[in-house]
């Protein structure tokens, strides 16, 4: 759920040294993976291709083939980066000992990560892709397991905790569908904050 650090064309070029008269930069594989994630967020999985990404990064296609044998290999690397970032964010929440406070922190964190939602929504739209499908399967199962464990620690019985996890995750995915795919009007900040508080009050067990 945590997005990759914002990585603009201009920033990439500046770090790589693409000023006039300089040698073409040799970007890292991670630079390409981050650019691919940005591309997915803006135009979807199908838009990830060597030439537009090379233009985005201000380099020739040769830089790509230095790191990746194919577009599919780049897509794998990008999704691995996305998955790794999410696992790191969930790990950071473990420092919060109270399970209810941990759930509140999780809800608040998710509410602030618009770009991560866009990437996830685009990946859901590309579920038939052989590279995307297993990643979404792993991520969704891990998220459900995390939620179920947190609700269990917050006092719910095992079956109830699993049901509450499904309900919370369904609310998340449904909200993405409403806002990003059905293109309903985005909530104003105050209304959105009220919605998040309502979700917390509804789904997180009281002490």
Instruction: Over range 32-54, report the average pLDDT.
Output: 93
Q: State how many domains the chain has.
A: 2
Provide the residue range defining the domain that includes 86. 82-203
Instruction: Over range 49-61, report the average pLDDT.
Output: 91
- Structure-model confidence comparison of residues 91 and 32, the more confident one: 32
User: What would the pLDDT profile of 91-144 be if each residue is shown by its tens digit?
Assistant: 888 889 999 999 999 999 888 877 788 898 899 999 999 999 999 999 999 999
Question: Which CATH number fits the domain that encloses residue 192?
Answer: 1.10.357
Q: Which of 142, 166, 164, 140 minimizes the C-alpha distance to 152?
A: 164
Question: CA-CA distance, 102 to 94, in Å (whole number)?
Answer: 7
pLDDT at residue 170, rounded to an integer = 94
Q: Pull the structure tokens for residue 46.
A: 């199908």
Mean of pLDDT over the chain: 84
Question: CA-CA distance, 165 to 79, in Å (whole number)?
Answer: 24
Question: CA-CA distance, 40 to 75, in Å (whole number)?
Answer: 10
Question: Which CATH number fits the domain that encloses residue 46?
Answer: 1.10.10
Question: CA-CA distance, 139 to 90, in Å (whole number)?
Answer: 12
The pLDDT-based confidence of 150 (bands split at 50, 70, 90) is very high
Q: At what angle do helices 9-16 and 29-43 cross, to 10 degrees?
A: 170
Within this chain, do residues 37 and 139 fall inside the same structural domain, yes or no?
no
On whether residue 77 sits in a domain, the answer given is no
Within this chain, do residues 52 and 99 fall inside the same structural domain, yes or no?
no
């Amino acid at each position: 759920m945590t997005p990759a650090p914002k990585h603009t064309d201009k920033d990439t070029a500046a770090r790589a040294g693409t000023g006039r008269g300089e040698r073409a930069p040799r970007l890292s594989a991670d630079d390409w993976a981050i650019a691919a994630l940005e591309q997915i967020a803006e135009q979807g999985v199908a838009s990830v291709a060597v030439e537009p990404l090379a233009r985005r990064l201000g380099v020739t296609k040769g830089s790509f083939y230095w790191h990746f044998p194919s577009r599919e290999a780049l897509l794998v690397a990008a999704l691995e980066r996305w998955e790794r970032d999410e696992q790191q964010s969930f790990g950071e929440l473990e420092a919060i000992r109270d399970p209810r406070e941990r759930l509140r922190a999780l809800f608040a964190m998710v509410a602030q990560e618009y770009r991560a939602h866009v990437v996830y929504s685009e990946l859901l739209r590309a579920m038939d892709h052989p590279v995307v499908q297993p990643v979404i399967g792993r991520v969704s199962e891990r998220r459900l397991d995390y939620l179920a464990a947190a609700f269990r620690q917050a006092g719910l019985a095992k079956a109830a905790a699993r049901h509450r996890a499904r309900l919370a995750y369904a609310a998340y995915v449904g909200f993405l569908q409403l806002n990003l795919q059905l293109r309903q009007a985005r909530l104003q900040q105050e209304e959105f904050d009220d919605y998040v508080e309502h979700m917390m009050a509804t789904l997180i067990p009281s002490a």
